[in-house]
Chain A
Amino acid sequence: MLALNNKVAVITGGSSGIGLAIAKRFVSEGAYVFITSRRQSALDKAVAEIGKNVTAVQGDVSKLEDLDRLYSTVSAEGRRIDVVVAGAGFVVIAPLTTATLDQFDQTFDTNARGAFFTVQKALPLMNDGGSIILIASAGKNKATPGRSLYSGTKAALRAFVRTWTMELKDRGIRSNVLSPGATETPILEDLFGSKEAAEAGKAQFASATPLGRIGRPEEIAAAALFLASSEASFVAGIDLAVDGGLSAV
């Protein structure tokens, strides 16, 4: 039997990279998925790649009205939700001395506030016994110059799931964080600006990682499947590192 047979999952940031890999894996395990992205073109491409059992809803998680529209779509299709994956993320290199208010707000509004209200607004539609997964980062416990805002938002996610574990225990809803290390995704290339810089950056990440390479989106998706499914029925409030050992050593 498939691990997510007849389950429904909402995956924000599900049109590329880690989010897309999670959407594909969930569908292959029997789930119906709703994916979101700011870019319609990326969604169209993702829907074609996933192939079946998927609804795409264009939207920005930092806008609460977009989240409302997402969930009214789920509701209009007559579905209830078993799994929420908050995967939409924004990253910018912003050293303390030059970080602007806009950079601060964009990072926090997408990564922290977006995840918070993605989950809050899902709750009325969620089945008891469901699973909440927030995608954080192995970098949140490390100090990397230029990354204080990004790491700050991801540390906030780690705190959210502790509290939600207490607050949602009566409904049997489990909340966990999944922390990828450096992973082969388009966001990595955007971050470095050029293909050459990205290759150099990846080589550097690979050498810093005990397993000697960066991760593949499918490896993150496998961990998300575990947290989403009944295999993880006694796992709550944790931070699952899938980072080749980066944060462990």
Chain B
Amino acid sequence: MKRYEGKKVVIIGGTSGMGLATAKMLLDGGARVAVTGRSKEGLESAQKELGNEAIVVSSDARSLTDIDALASRVKTEFDTIDLLFVNAGFSIPTPFESVTEAIYDEMFNLNSKGPFFAVQKFAPMISRGGSVILTTSIANVKGMPNQSTYGAAKSALRSFARGLAAELLPREIRVNAVTPGPIDTPILGKSFPAEAAAQMREKIPGMVPMKRWGTSDEIAKAVLFLAFDATFTTGAELPVDGGWSQL
């Protein structure tokens, strides 16, 4: 029997990078997987990479209407799930003085509000012994210029992992967070202009204790550990960051 056979998983933000890598590992291990994304190209390339077994859904992680629609689709397809991985998120790096109300709201809608209501909608479907994983960021423990709203929105999310872990405890559902350090994913090119992204690709390894970028596969392995093997761990945050936040 394959390692994840019989498991049913939803990955919000699963058409590229860390979400996609996690979906691949799960599918290879025999799980059934539904992933979401927003861009048409992203959805198409994910379907191609993951194959026809995977359910690929167009869904905006900020939209409560989309989250509702996704939940009913998943209910129909899977009935119950074993893992909800809320991974969608990105930063709009902006100096404090220039943060507009629109940027502020965008950061919190995507990184705090969407995930909160996704957990609320999916919680009734999660089986006993199941798991929720939230993707946070090292920006929630490190002061990084231009990341005040992103870091704060991710801090709220990290706090949700504690509060929701307490509330879902009676149903034996564990809630944990995974904190990626610098991971070379397509989002880097989306969050920064090409030149800045190129500069970061060069500069960042020097700042990380392990002197390199992390890979999406390394995040996926941590997610699967928290989801299925870390049976005595809840409300925790697991940094996968080459030591950046710890050393």
Interface residues of A (CB under 8 A from B): 64, 95-97, 99, 101, 104, 108, 112-113, 116-117, 120, 123, 140-149, 151-168, 237
Contact = CB atoms under 8 A, between A and B. Distances in A.
B81 interface: no
A171 to B, nearest CB: 11
B154 interface: yes
A53 B155 CA distance: 37
B55 interface: no
B95 interface: yes
Interface residues of B, number: 46
B96 A108 contact: no
Contact of B116 (A104, A166, A167, A237): A104
Nearest to B101: A64
Contacts of B96: 120, 123, 163-164, 167-168
B92 to A, nearest CB: 14
Given A108-B108, A148-B167, A159-B154, A143 B148 contact: no
A167 B167 contact: no
A29 to B, nearest CB: 28
Interface string B204-247: 00000000000000000000000000000001000000000000
Contact of B156 (A156, A161, A237): A156
B102 to A, nearest CB: 11
Interface stretch (B9-17, B32-40, B138-146, B181-189): B138-146
A146 B164 CA distance: 9
B140 A159 contact: yes
B112 interface: yes
A145 B163 contact: yes
Contacts of B158: 155
A215 B9 CA distance: 46
